[in-house]
Structures are given as structure tokens and as C-alpha cells.
Amino acid sequence: MPALNIAELQPLLRRREVSPREVLDLLRARIEELEPKIDAYLSIDFEAAAKEAEKADVDLPLGGVPIAIKDIINVAGQPCTCASKILRNYRAPYDATVIRKLRVAGAIPFGKTNMDEFAMGSSTENSSVKLTHNPWDLSRVPGGSSGGSAAAVAADGAFGGLGTDTGGSIRQPAALSGVVGVKPSYGRVSRFGVVAFASSLDQVGPLTKTVRDSALIMNAIAGHDPYDSTSLNEPVPDYTAALGRDLKGIRLGLPKEYMIEGIDPQVKAAIDDAVKQLQSLGAEIVDVSLPHTDFAIAAYYIIATAEASANLARFDGVRYGHRAENPKDLLDHYGRTREEGFGAEVKRRIILGTYVLSSGYYDAYYLRAQKVRQLIRQDFAQAFEKVDALVSPTSPVPAFKLGERTADPLQMYLADIFTNAANLAGICGISLPCGFVKSGSGGDTDSSRGESDGHRLPIGLQLLGKALEEGRILQIAHAYEQSTDWHKARPKL
Ligand code: GLN
């Protein structure tokens, strides 16, 4: 049962062949067998979920479907720790809008998943709580920062999940864990009740086993929210409506700047094959240029850290979470609370972000990064005059080994090289499975030694679309997915 995707589970629920309570119990058994190996969850409240299941209306769009939630999204009464010590004992006093909307659609948000602390990272190793393991190879990372949701879905420990994507944190873990992940356009999905990392970049989106399942979750969570002034007041289409259409007349752009050195040769080969496949389905392939691509990572890490330094100022030991004991005075209270509560990566970002915003450096760094951001936006606008969507790898490499990049933050930042420009531009993106790398060539350094340890590591194909054209990229992704078997592969655990 837990191996089913949402679209397969629904008819069974609707025909009353299985009850939401039975589904939950079977999922629970699966998670209990899985968690010692994967460690995807930070907290699960099966009792609360069981109560919801008893009264679930299976005729609603997601009626009776349990959904895993990244621990940065507030679910009333449940812990919301952002995998940080500073929020270790924090419980959400209310539902985020996306949770409220999931409930309206009948879904059951039952557990909170592991992540990089405050969503800062690309491997989930910055969690202050524990490491999450990639279900395809337990010695490797699941990607991040939404690694818990990605690993849970990949291992059939969740029918679907929610993550957040500030610079790639839905798409990259989806790619590394072999599932589908959607980063909606900025403003498409409410951020109300989602702990803010970088407010001009953050978006909530689904992680699922199939493209259709992502469309189903998007139907539930997208839309205007008066509680989020950046949410767009635009009608929400039925994202499943365009699924099944062919690709005739669709123009897909290949950004030449994305074919960089450093892409794993097996990843490159898989993307080349995927492009041919898309072509055979009727899409026309066009070469395009995104000339400012080289500056995206630098601009992203200035803007994201600047916003993070402001957003994290609220964690002062007065209102939320951890508070240092016996402070000498107020300054000592703030200093030690934050010293004890935040991990190394979060501190690095606060320091960097404060620096780029400080007088004297603001013009040189922050303002300049905002100008670059505008150029990157224009790059995409020009490309989208010629094409309907862009195609690229999601990540230049498959899942790397746990510990391999933790000593080198810059190396870790490069994990987002193909994803974070989309956040700067506010456009939408999806990652979906498009093949496997034979392990041995999977990591970086120990890769070409020829010894395969028998693992297959998933590869992700990224499609980027214009703002508010989620329907289009879901359509293209679905056509590709249905013409391959990649999404049917399951890790052996
Ligand atoms: N890896 C990027 C970072 O560390 C992206 C994180 C995210 O999307 N939340 O900032």
C-alpha cells in the first residue's frame, strides 16, 4: 500500500476498498521499518493523524491522503523546529496557509521531516538533529534542504510531501532522491506560516512520486492568500487538466551556459537522452543563452544571506525557543542564546548577510547583487520570448557521500548551480527522474576508481517555465515521464 502513489491510492479510498485509517496504519508500519535506515522524520503524531483519518472525507481532492511536511512549515500543535536547536521545544500555534489548504482538500499532514537548519544547505547535513540517508545508497546524502521529505517519498515512507525551495531545496533533493519536485513561481503559493529564510526567494512546493501527484498537491496549495502580501491574486488552473496532452508545438530551450565542465558525464548523457526523448515526443529544441548565469550563485548567496540575517533576528530568546541560562545582562542574553541555538552554517550566513548590508558595503555587495538579479530576470524573459520552457540537469552530480562536502561550504553552495537562478527570477521549475548513474561514478573523488558498489543513483531533469506557467511544465514533465519507466524504479532497502 505505501508503495502506491497518490493517484493510485485515491480510487481505492473512494471505492471504500481501504479506509483512511487503514492507509495510515500501513504507512506507519512502513515508516517504522524504514526510519532506522533513512531517518527522514523529526516528529510524527500518529495519534492526531488517526483522529483526522477517522473523519476524513475521501471524496475530497486529497481526501484521506497522509502528507509529510518539512519542519519549517507550521502545523498547529506540532513541533516546528526548522531542525535548529533554537526552536527545539517550539510548537506551532497555528496552521500555515498551505496546511490549512491541504486540510480543506482532505489531506492529513501527519509528520514533520528533517531538513538543513533553517533550510540552509544542500544535503540535510546541516540539521542539528540527525542525518538523513539517501534511500538509493545509505552512505549518501538525500540532497537538501528538503531532504527529509524527498527521502521519505522516495522510500515509500510518504505518499507525498511538502518542501520549500529558496535556491533549489525542492528540486535538488528531488533529483538526488529520485522523485518529482516542483518549485512554484514566486507568489503562487502562500508563505504565511512558513518560517522565513529569504523572503523574496522562498516558495513551498510538492515532492511526489509522479508528476500527476505534484499537480494534485499544487491544485490544493496554490492561490491567493490575504495573509501573504506577496501572494498573487491570480486564478488557479486545474493543474491536472493539461496532463496527457502531447508536445507538438512546444519549444524547449537548451541554455548553452548550463553545459558546463564539472557535470558528471553520466548525468550529461542522461540529459542528452532526455532531450532526444522530448524531441521524439514532438517538442522542438532550440539553443538559447542565459548570459548572466555565471553570476547567479554569487548574487544568490548575497541576497539570500542578507534576507536571512534580517529574518533570523527574531530568534532572540525572548519570544521563541531556546533561551540562555543566567545571563549577566541583555547583551549576554542575546549573545549566548544565539551562540548556543544556531549551528555553524546559520551563523556563517548571518555574519555574511549582516556584512553585505552594512553601511560602506551595501552598495558594493547587496545593491550590486540586486542589479545582477535584474539582469538574470531579463535573461529568462528574453529566453522565454523564444521558447516555452528550458531544459537542464537539476544538479551537476548525483547524490554525494555523507561528509564529502561538509568541510567546504563553497563546494556545497555549487550544488545549486542550475537551480538558484529560477528563484532569483521568480519563475517556476520542476525536477523529475530521467535516469541513473551507476555508483562508483556517483561521488566526486572516489568516483572514477571503477569499483561499482552496485548502487544506482537517480538523475534529475529540470524544466523551467515562465512565472505562473506551472501547468505548462507539468504538462511537459508528464509527457516525458509517461514515455519512460524511470519513475517506476524503487530503491532496494
Ligand atoms: N542550497 C541553497 C542554500 O543553502 C538553497 C537552500 C534552499 O533552497 N532552501 O541556500
The residue type at 287: D
pLDDT by residue (tens digit) across 113-128? 999 999 999 999 999 9
Which has the closest alpha carbon to 390: 323, 320, 317, 464? 464
At 445, the pLDDT band (50, 70, 90 cuts) reads very low
Q: Using DSSP bridges, classify how beta strands 456-465 and 428-438 pair: parallel, antiparallel or unpaired.
A: antiparallel
Largest CA distance in the chain: 70
Q: What are the helix and strand counts (H, E) for the chain?
A: 15, 11
How confident is the model at residue 12, as a pLDDT?
98
Q: Using DSSP bridges, classify how beta strands 389-393 and 456-465 pair: parallel, antiparallel or unpaired.
A: antiparallel
**H or E element at residue 392:** strand 389-393
At 442, the pLDDT band (50, 70, 90 cuts) reads very low
pLDDT by residue (tens digit) across 294-348? 999 999 999 999 999 999 999 999 988 999 999 999 999 999 999 999 999 999 9
Distances (CA, A) of 254 to 283, 298, 333, 463, 483: 12, 22, 53, 10, 20
Whether the full predicted model's pTM is greater than 0.95, yes or no, is: yes
At 453, the pLDDT band (50, 70, 90 cuts) reads low
Q: How far is the CA of 247 from the centre of ligand 1 (A)?
A: 32
- Average pLDDT (77-92) is 97
The values of phi and psi at residue 320, to 5°, are -125, 150
Contacts of 343 (CB under 8 A, 6+ apart): 84, 85, 117, 126, 128
Whole-number percent of the chain with pLDDT over 90: 93
**H or E element at residue 458:** strand 456-465
346 ligand 1 Cβ < 6 A: no
Q: How far is the CA of 454 from the centre of ligand 1 (A)?
A: 30
How confident is the model at residue 83, as a pLDDT?
98
How confident is the model at residue 1, as a pLDDT?
92
At 446, the pLDDT band (50, 70, 90 cuts) reads very low
Distances (CA, A) of 249 to 245, 308, 477: 11, 42, 15
Contacts of 111 (CB under 8 A, 6+ apart): 31, 41, 43, 44, 45, 49, 66, 68, 69, 152, 158
Cα separation, 399 vs 153, in Å, equals 16
Cα separation, 485 vs 478, in Å, equals 12
How confident is the model at residue 259, as a pLDDT?
84
How confident is the model at residue 401, as a pLDDT?
97
- Average pLDDT (56-73) is 98
Q: How far is the CA of 168 from the centre of ligand 1 (A)?
A: 6
Distances (CA, A) of 471 to 182, 219, 249, 423: 11, 10, 16, 18
Catalytic residue among 122, 123, 127, 145: 145
Whole-number percent of the chain with pLDDT over 70: 97
Q: How far is the CA of 16 from the centre of ligand 1 (A)?
A: 41
Q: How far is the CA of 82 from the centre of ligand 1 (A)?
A: 13
Q: Is residue 66 pLDDT above 60, yes or no?
A: yes
Which ligand 1 atom is at minimum distance from the Cα of 165? 8
Which ligand 1 atom is at minimum distance from the Cα of 413? 1
DSSP secondary structure string for all residues of 7-71: HHHHHHHHTTSS-HHHHHHHHHHHHHHHHHHH--EEEE-HHHHHHHHHT--TTSTTTT-EEEEET
pLDDT by residue (tens digit) across 264-305? 999 999 999 999 999 999 999 999 999 999 999 999 999 999
Q: How far is the CA of 419 from the centre of ligand 1 (A)?
A: 9
How confident is the model at residue 454, as a pLDDT?
74
At 164, the pLDDT band (50, 70, 90 cuts) reads very high
Q: Indicate the average pLDDT of the chain.
A: 96
Q: Is residue 364 pLDDT above 70, yes or no?
A: yes
Cα separation, 28 vs 117, in Å, equals 26
pLDDT by residue (tens digit) across 97-115? 999 999 999 999 999 999 9
Determine which residue's CA is closest to atom 10 belonging to ligand 1: 120
CB of 393 within 8 A of CB of 462? yes
165 ligand 1 Cβ < 6 A: yes
312 ligand 1 Cβ < 6 A: no
Cα separation, 291 vs 303, in Å, equals 20
Range from 13-27, 273-287, 403-417, 436-450 carrying the lowest mean pLDDT: 436-450
Residue 55 is among the residues annotated as catalytic for this protein: no
Angle at 79 between CA 75 and CA 83, to 5 degrees: 110
Find the distance separating the first CA and the last CA of the chain, reported in whole Å: 16
All three cell numbers of 194: 512558513
119 ligand 1 Cβ < 6 A: yes
137 ligand 1 Cβ < 6 A: no
At 440, the pLDDT band (50, 70, 90 cuts) reads low
Place of cell 544542500: 122
Q: Is residue 451 pLDDT above 50, yes or no?
A: no
Residue 145 is among the residues annotated as catalytic for this protein: yes
169 ligand 1 Cβ < 6 A: yes
Residue 289 is among the residues annotated as catalytic for this protein: no
At 439, the pLDDT band (50, 70, 90 cuts) reads confident
Which has the closest alpha carbon to 442: 375, 378, 393, 396? 396
At 443, the pLDDT band (50, 70, 90 cuts) reads very low
Catalytic residue among 127, 146, 169, 214: 169
Cα separation, 493 vs 490, in Å, equals 9
Mutate to test the pocket of ligand 1, among 123, 127, 170, 420 (most ligand atoms within 8 A of CB): 420
Distances (CA, A) of 127 to 40, 274, 345: 11, 34, 10
CB of 175 within 8 A of CB of 394? yes
**H or E element at residue 342:** none
Cα separation, 426 vs 98, in Å, equals 19
- Average pLDDT (354-362) is 96
At 444, the pLDDT band (50, 70, 90 cuts) reads very low
